[in-house]
């Protein structure tokens, strides 16, 4: 009846996973991608950003090395070499994604696709019929409508700068702004981070937010809360931002990290009867099915959690449901996440505010300590850890950390939380000594 069993629009993490698994289950699959395979994460998100974070960390590591007896002469950083190395790795990953798809018979169409109706997709001048359509078009950075906004960049552009700017203004207090503040500062730029609210990283545990703010200030980053940029204009020595308090800040680069919107414009979804929310996200049920039974959506173009592993899980579930007779839906409870700031954040489960806002009576355990490494490096940096516990059941509801290797540590704790681990079980676990991670099983005093 149809040209394809599944037609996926968008070659990011969720779309690639659904397409590849569906093809492995015997479905005839096509995937349309007009930009780059791998989506935001591989090309202008998680992967290149983490590579830049590594580069920024070396700056601090060189400083710390002196305390351990190292003498470092002729230290120099080459932005172009870093970007060239990043480009090589991204090109390699693009090739990996292509092989994953073509290796199982997925047809890749390198053009913009639109939905014509419940079972038809248009790609260029061609039309294809399909049993199911999967929308996996991700998100796209948003820019506030202020005078001179065209003089600024977004995170999409930051990975392709021809040179490292000396002075950078970052606008936005989400994870992207915070991460790039650490990147640019670590590589040697003078950084101002501006956020419209009273404290950045809304949605994270309040103690985590406060601790990270203090650590960022120790690095002499110009951190300003309750601050907006009202206009941007060219100055005598670069770009000038006028702030809501009347202050003028000069920079070589201004980057907006003020949010991302679902990338659903121009897809023809409304014409096909697909219901969208006010922000353009596709409204789906727990099986990722839209208001049109043959059209599904996964990843950042929906109204759910915007994390790469979540999109992958959603894509896997769609393939299982449609082509393996195994109705599946992702479990969004206790999904771990990280912010690769300097220092980094790792978190899983409920924040203290979320736990107290529910029906649970809560006990909270925290610890703050100077890592062993910095007893010799001399760096004024502290690690913070927090455990949120349901007093009645003793079940651990949330774990939060600010400090080196936070993501690596939190991943293991996520398994424990998913298995319903109790504080008593944490306490009974022998720690790895000496390590920061052992603090999660040695906290005894309630906050």
pLDDT of residue 74: 84
**Going from the N-terminus, what domains does the chain have, and what CATH number goes with each?**
4-140+261-323 (3.50.50.60), 149-258 (3.50.50.60), 337-441 (3.30.390.30)
**Residue keyed to tokens 């929310």:** 277
> Rounded CA gap, 94 and 212, in Å?
34
pLDDT of residue 156: 96
Strand locations in 289-350 (E): 295-297, 337-339, 345-349
pLDDT of residue 277: 97
pLDDT of residue 321: 98
pLDDT of residue 112: 97
55: tokens are 């580069």
Strand order in the sheet with 248-251: 229-235, 238-243, 248-251
For the stretch 339-374, pLDDT in tens is 999 999 999 999 999 999 987 799 999 999 999 999
Proportion of the chain above pLDDT 70, given as a percent: 100
| Low-confidence stretches of the chain (pLDDT beneath 70) | none
Q: State the catalytic residues.
A: 433
Is 78 strand, coil or helix? coil
Paired strand residues for 168: 191, 253
For the stretch 38-63, pLDDT in tens is 999 999 999 999 999 999 999 999 99
345: tokens are 């954040």
């Amino acid at each position: 009846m149809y040209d394809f069993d599944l037609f996926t629009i968008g070659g990011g993490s969720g779309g690639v996973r659904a397409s590849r698994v569906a093809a492995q289950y015997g479905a005839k699959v096509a995937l349309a991608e007009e930009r780059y395979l791998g989506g935001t994460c591989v090309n202008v998100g998680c992967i290149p950003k983490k590579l830049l974070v590594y580069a920024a960390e070396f700056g601090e590591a060189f400083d710390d090395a002196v305390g351990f007896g190292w003498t470092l002469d002729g230290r120099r950083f080459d932005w172009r070499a870093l970007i060239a190395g990043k480009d090589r790795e991204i090109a390699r990953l693009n090739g990996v994604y292509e092989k994953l798809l073509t290796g199982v018979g997925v047809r890749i169409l390198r053009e913009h696709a639109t939905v014509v109706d419940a079972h038809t997709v248009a790609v260029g001048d061609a039309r294809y019929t399909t049993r199911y359509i999967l929308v996996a078009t991700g998100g796209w950075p948003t820019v506030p409508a202020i005078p001179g906004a065209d003089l600024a960049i977004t995170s999409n552009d930051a990975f392709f700068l021809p040179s490292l700017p000396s002075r950078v203004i970052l606008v936005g207090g989400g994870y992207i702004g915070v991460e790039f503040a650490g990147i640019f500062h670590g590589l040697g730029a003078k950084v101002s981070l501006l956020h419209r609210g009273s404290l950045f990283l809304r949605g994270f545990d309040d103690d985590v937010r406060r601790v990270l703010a203090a650590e960022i200030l120790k690095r002499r980053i110009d951190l300003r809360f309750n601050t907006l940029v009202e206009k941007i204009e060219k100055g005598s020595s670069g770009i000038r931002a006028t702030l809501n308090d009347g202050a003028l800040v000069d920079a070589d680069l201004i980057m907006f990290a003020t949010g991302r919107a679902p990338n659903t414009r121009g897809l023809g979804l409304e014409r096909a009867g697909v219901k969208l929310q006010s922000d353009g996200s596709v409204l789906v049920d727990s099986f990722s099915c839209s208001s049109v039974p043959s059209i599904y959506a996964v990843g950042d173009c929906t109204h759910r959690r915007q994390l790469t592993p979540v999109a992958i899980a959603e894509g896997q579930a769609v393939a299982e449901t449609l082509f393996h007779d195994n109705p599946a839906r992702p479990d969004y409870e206790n999904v771990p996440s990280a912010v690769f700031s300097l220092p980094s954040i790792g978190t899983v489960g409920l924040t203290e505010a979320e736990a107290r806002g529910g029906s649970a009576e809560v006990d909270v355990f925290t610890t703050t300590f100077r890592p062993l490494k910095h007893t010799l490096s001399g760096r004024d940096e502290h690690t913070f850890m927090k455990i949120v516990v349901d007093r009645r059941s003793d079940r651990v509801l949330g774990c939060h950390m600010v400090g080196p290797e936070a993501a690596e540590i939190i991943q293991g704790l996520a398994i424990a939380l998913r298995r319903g681990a109790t504080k008593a079980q944490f306490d009974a676990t022998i720690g790895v000594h000496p390590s920061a991670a052992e603090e999660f099983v040695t906290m005894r005093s309630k906050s």
